[in-house]
């Protein structure tokens, strides 16, 4: 299982043009060729933060300028899954062709089940969409029932916040497992998946929320019996106490040490902690190894820039 970070398509200081995103996607999936040549059966997940944010802003502009009925968050997440999955699939097909590799690749638009009683619904924290003025935020809160918190990007601005519940089940997990074990490359659970839940009549309902991509990737990896989980990000090393005098580079960790550091708050909650949590969950449920690294480091068999979590024999 390989989870691609947001920088797989859109990087800092870029405009987000299709040319930029296709170039970035090509550079990223080029690094996956090593795993394919090594005989790995591959499931690819990906982030969608910048892209779904842009979709929400287009929603907002269409509503305000042309009166086009805006789509709910679950549809926007589905849109981003399809668009990003298609882009990754097309770029990967082109890369494999250059390497003389024949593989079927399939992109799935994936629902992920959450618990409607998850405590996250009582404390929405995930900021999405554009930055609004206080007056705009108050108007939208009154009209749509949206919740807002101050923006981390602009001190006098406000952004909509939604819950980020934990994933509890991956819809179509059996299909994903069957496809990948048959030798196909599967792109699934993009952006953490489309959050849904079952009501008291077992009707599948959508919910305004976002799911952490790495947590969904970890759950999917466990449910399909993956041996290894690779979380690809934009930093070459993992540090404890990053930015502090006690900063220390970490390259190899067993499960016990990783859990100890995590519980001590060593990793930043807004950055590395969710990835560490996802790795711990995967290993705890039987995964052999989980690695956090840059995509370009995958072929470095010494794992010199990787953090590896495993149970001690």
The 3-class SS string of 32-73 reads CHHHHHCCCCCEEEECCHHHHHHHHHHHHHHHHHHCCCCCCH
- pLDDT of amino acid 197: 98
Give residue 304's pLDDT band: very low, low, confident or very high (50, 70, 90).
very low
Helix (H) or strand (E) holding 274: helix 273-284
Active site residue 173: no
Determine which one of 5, 126, 173, 192 is catalytic.
126
Please state, rounded to an integer, the average pLDDT across all residues of the chain: 91
CB 178 within 8 A of CB 46: no
DSSP, res 140: H
Residue 217 in 3-state DSSP?
A: helix
Integer Cα distance of 126 and 166 in angstroms: 13
Q: How many domains does the chain have?
A: 2
25 Cβ contact partners less than 8 Å away, ≥ 6 residues apart: 8, 9, 87, 88, 91
130/153 same-domain check? yes
Determine which one of 47, 190, 213, 281 is catalytic.
213
Integer Cα distance of 120 and 140 in angstroms: 22
DSSP, res 252: B
Give residue 308's pLDDT band: very low, low, confident or very high (50, 70, 90).
low
From 162, 184, 218, the end of a domain falls on: 162
**What pTM did the predictor assign?**
0.93
CB 312 within 8 A of CB 243: no
- pLDDT of amino acid 144: 92
pLDDT at 12 over 90: no
Selection from 162, 159, 229 nearest residue 195 by Cα: 162
Question: Mean pLDDT, to the nearest integer, of 198-206?
Answer: 97
**Helices 255-263 and 273-284, axial angle in degrees (round to 10):** 140
Question: Mean pLDDT, to the nearest integer, of 289-301?
Answer: 81
* Burial grade of 15 (CB within 10 A; 0-12, 13-18, 19 or more): exposed
Residue-range definition of the domain harbouring residue 146: 124-162
250/302 same-domain check? yes
Residue 206 in 3-state DSSP?
A: strand
281/133 same-domain check? no
Active site residue 213: yes
Determine which one of 31, 47, 129, 275 is catalytic.
275
Give residue 80's pLDDT band: very low, low, confident or very high (50, 70, 90).
very high
Integer Cα distance of 215 and 231 in angstroms: 11
- pLDDT of amino acid 249: 83
Active site residue 306: no
pLDDT in tens, 21-76: 999 999 999 999 999 999 999 999 999 998 999 999 999 999 999 999 999 999 99
Give the domain CATH number at 219: 3.40.1160.10
88/139 same-domain check? no
Determine which one of 5, 6, 53, 287 is catalytic.
6
197/252 same-domain check? yes
Give residue 169's pLDDT band: very low, low, confident or very high (50, 70, 90).
very high
Q: Tell me the helices (H) and strands (E) count for the chain, helix number first.
A: 9, 16
pLDDT in tens, 238-284: 778 877 888 888 877 888 888 998 999 888 777 789 999 999 999 99
pLDDT in tens, 94-112: 999 999 999 999 999 999 9
- pLDDT of amino acid 307: 52
94/197 same-domain check? yes
From 136, 162, 188, the end of a domain falls on: 162
């Amino acid at each position: 299982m390989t989870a691609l970070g947001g920088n797989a398509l859109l990087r800092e200081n870029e405009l987000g043009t299709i040319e930029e995103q296709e170039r970035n996607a090509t550079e990223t999936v080029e690094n996956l060729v090593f795993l394919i040549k090594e005989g790995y059966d591959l499931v690819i997940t990906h982030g969608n933060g910048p892209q779904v944010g842009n979709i929400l802003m287009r929603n907002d502009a269409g509503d305000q300028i042309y009166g086009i009925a805006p789509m709910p968050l679950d549809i926007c997440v589905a849109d981003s899954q399809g668009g990003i999955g298609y882009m990754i699939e097309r770029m990967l097909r082109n890369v494999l062709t250059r390497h003389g590799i024949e593989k079927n690749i399939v992109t799935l638009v994936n629902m992920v089940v959450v618990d409607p009683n998850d405590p996250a619904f009582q404390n929405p924290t995930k900021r999405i969409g554009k930055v609004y003025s206080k007056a705009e935020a108050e108007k939208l809160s009154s009209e749509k029932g949206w919740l807002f918190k101050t923006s981390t990007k602009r001190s006098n601005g406000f952004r909509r916040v939604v819950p980020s519940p934990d994933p509890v089940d991956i819809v179509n997990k059996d299909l994903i497992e069957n496809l990948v074990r048959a030798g196909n490359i599967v792109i699934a659970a993009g952006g953490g998946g489309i959050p849904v839940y079952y009501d008291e009549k077992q009707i599948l309902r959508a919910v305004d929320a976002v799911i952490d991509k790495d947590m969904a990737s970890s759950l999917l990896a466990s449910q399909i019996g993956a041996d290894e989980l690779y979380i690809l990000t934009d930093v070459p090393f993992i540090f404890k106490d990053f930015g502090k005098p006690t900063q220390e580079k970490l390259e190899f960790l067993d499960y016990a040490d990783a859990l100890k550091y995590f519980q001590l708050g060593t990793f930043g909650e807004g950055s590395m902690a969710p990835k560490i949590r996802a790795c711990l969950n995967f290993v705890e449920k039987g995964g052999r190894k989980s690695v956090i690294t840059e995509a370009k480091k995958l072929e470095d068999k010494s794992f010199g820039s990787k953090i590896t979590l495993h149970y001690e024999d």
